[in-house]
Amino acid sequence: MEYQVVDDLLAPKEVQDWIHQNKYYAAHIILHTDGKIYTVLTRGEKKTGGYGIEVIDVEEQDEVIFVKAKYLNPAPDQMVIQVISYPVVIIELQKTEKEIIIDVQL
């Protein structure tokens, strides 16, 4: 299935508002807005840089769409920036009536 990863600054206001309120926690949500579907995943507050979320695949099956992602962590010996970060990824999908299941690998 086709999808697009959207920069949080270019996301619809409803998506940006949800991120602003929930970026402190590891969470996910599916938002229907502007005629599209936005799957938003957050990692919560991290004490350094080097953390992230990678979209592995978005797979469409008969009645379900599987969104697969994994958490990225800095290597133990990696030099990272000393700043609080809030990893987030936004996946834009075309409007569908199918169930969306999010699978995040820790």
| pLDDT tens digits, 28-82 | 999 999 999 999 999 999 999 999 999 999 999 999 999 999 999 999 999 999 9
Q: What angle do CA 26, 14, 35 make, to 5 degrees?
A: 115
Is the whole model's pTM more than 0.95, yes or no? Answer: no
> What band does 1 get if pLDDT is binned at 50, 70 and 90?
confident
Residue 106: band (very low, low, confident or very high) from pLDDT cuts 50, 70, 90:
confident
51 near 106, Cβ under 8 Å? no
Distance CA 33, CA 88 (A): 18
